[in-house]
Amino acid sequence: MIPAGFEYHRPGDIASAIGILQEHGDEARVIAGGHSLIPMMKLRMAEMGHLVDLQAIEELKGIEIGPDTVTLGAMVTQHELITHDGLSAAIPLMREAALQIADPQVRYVGTVGGNVANGDPGNDMPGLMQCLNATFELSGPDGNRSVAARDFYEAAYFTAREDEEILTRISIRVPGSGVGQAYEKQKRKIGDYATAAAAVMVGNGTASVAMTNLADTPIWSGEASNALAGGDVDGCVSAMLDAIEPVEDNRGPVEFKKHVASVMLRRAITRAQSRAG
Amino acid sequence: MSKMHVKLTVNGKEVEGLAEPRTLLIHFLREDLKITGPHIGCETSHCGACTVDIDGKSVKSCTTFVAQVNGADITTVEGLVNDDGSLGVLQEMFREHHGLQCGFCTPGMITRAHRLLQENPNPTEEEIRFGMAGNLCRCTGYQNIVKAISASADMLNAQAPSSSEAVGQTEVEAAE
């Protein structure tokens, strides 16, 4: 369980980090909390000559709560998401989901930026960000750009982020006060990835529905969201079950996963509705 | 790969050494510093036996490069004894309530429980179980571990007022 050797970098600002990525090309990778990357390095499934640690970059930290928008630095940890009172008041969905990620030790170091940027279909935050219609800010050699969470995921571990770009911040519009939110996750044990998980917002005549670990990307469904906005729960569930593409693995066969997906989605809808208005 | 100079504070003492950046913190603690309280259990960030406290956070040291914690303040189970070297409250309560059998998971359990009680001095049983979810025990089951942590919370809370008095007295004595 000893990873291959690498040179370690701890740049102090985003420009320096991008400079190191440019200099070393695909020999370099950034590390945030490292709890996805380090296990892969220990298994020698990930090897790189240069590891660029983002921990000293102040621009990547902090939670800002504005009247209409919340922005999260990429290096904000799950623990910070859970313990930030202003965030819990503005978007309670974030805390509810973060509490269901991994275990306490992992949440102290696991970051929201790493969770969304890694492109792992098992991660909870990507589906959540699609439900919230979040925007990811990227910085690279050619400057900054924004990509909607709903456009970011291409396939497992493939995203719209270029190799020399760093995901720096996440912006989320604060849902209206009448909007109920809920996150439901079925897992085999504490610390596990979801067998199926559902993020739901509903209220004020609008709805948004996304699911996790039921395809090689998170699944946000406009059809399911529209059905729920119109009060049609069965239509919402049916549209979502058509949109997901689960595969059989050690969490169960396809039929079981669709069943769990349906149960999680219905529970999330019921709870979000009870919190709406 | 060339080695890097590493400087840490471990259990209140400044330590220095040379390590390859890929060295995992658990290996640096155990093999270079000979601090063998933190254990290597699963070595895959599941079991929590390697848990140490880094700058006020419970972290699995098998999933941390020593390079990442260069400059950090680290506490292991060895650092949770009383000043006179006797067992600290959590250590004593784990003993009294049979919170360990083979003892392998205990250093991680106690180090994690230490941080949990720092953040939540009056946890409910459910909060203890949720807060300890990153630590696995394969022999006693969890009942006595939960009891030990709960008893520690009671004892620390009962001590709190008198211990601050005691600190005050020590300071007066030292001043005299």
Interface of B with A in 92-121 (CB under 8 A): 112, 116
Measured CA to CA, the distance from residue A115 to residue A75 in angstroms comes to 10
Q: Which of left, alpha, beta for A162 (phi over 0: left; psi -120 to 50: alpha)?
A: beta
Instruction: Write the burial class of residue A63 (CB in 10 Å: 0-12 exposed, 13-18 middle, 19+ buried).
Output: middle
Helical H segments across chain B, by residue range: 25-27, 89-96, 106-119, 125-131, 143-175
3-state helix vs strand vs coil in chain B, percent to 5: 45, 15, 40
Q: Which chain B residue lies closest to A79 (C-alpha atoms)?
A: B57
Residues in CB range of A172: below 8 A, 6 or more apart: A69, A70, A71, A72, A91, A129, A132, A133, A134, A135
**B55 and B40 together in one domain:** yes
Residues A28/A29/A32/A36 CA torsion (nearest 10 deg): -140
Q: Quick one: B54 and B138 in the same domain?
A: no
Asked whether residue A1 is assigned to any structural domain, the reply reads no
Indicate the number of domains in chain A: 3
pLDDT tens digits, A175-224: 988 999 999 999 999 889 999 999 999 999 999 999 999 999 999 999 99
> Confidence class of residue B1 from pLDDT cuts 50, 70 and 90?
low
Q: What is the pLDDT of residues B64-100, one digit of tens each?
A: 999 999 999 999 999 999 999 999 999 999 999 999 9
| Residue B115 tokens, joined | 């941080």
Q: Are A241 and A147 in contact (CB under 8 A)?
A: no
Q: Shortest Cα distance from B44 to chain A (angstroms)?
A: 7
Same domain, A105 and A125: yes
DSSP letter at B88? Answer: P
Please tell me the number of Cα atoms within 13 Å of A2 on its side-chain side.
7
pTM: 0.94
CB-CB contact of B105 with B49 (8 Å)? yes
Looking at this predicted complex, what is its ipTM? Answer: 0.94
The last residue of one of the domains, among A122, A140, A173, is A173
Q: What residues of chain A score a pLDDT lower than 70?
A: none
**Chain B residue whose CA is closest to A99:** B130
Number of structural domains found in chain B? 2
| CA-to-CA separations, B66 to A11, A57, B18, B130, in angstroms, rounded | 17, 19, 10, 28
Which residues constitute the domain of residue B133? 81-175
Residues B165 and B97 in one domain: yes
pLDDT digits (tens, 9 = 90+) for A259-277: 999 999 999 999 999 999 8
| Phi-psi group of B74: left, alpha or beta (phi > 0 → left; psi -120 to 50 → alpha; rest → beta) | beta
Supply the CATH number for residue A189's domain. 3.30.390.50
CATH at B92: 1.10.150.120
Cβ–Cβ contact B43 with A under 8 A: yes
Residues of A in contact with B57 (CB under 8 A): 79, 108-109
Answer yes or no: do B75 and B87 share one domain. Answer: no
Does A203 lie in the same domain as A147?
no
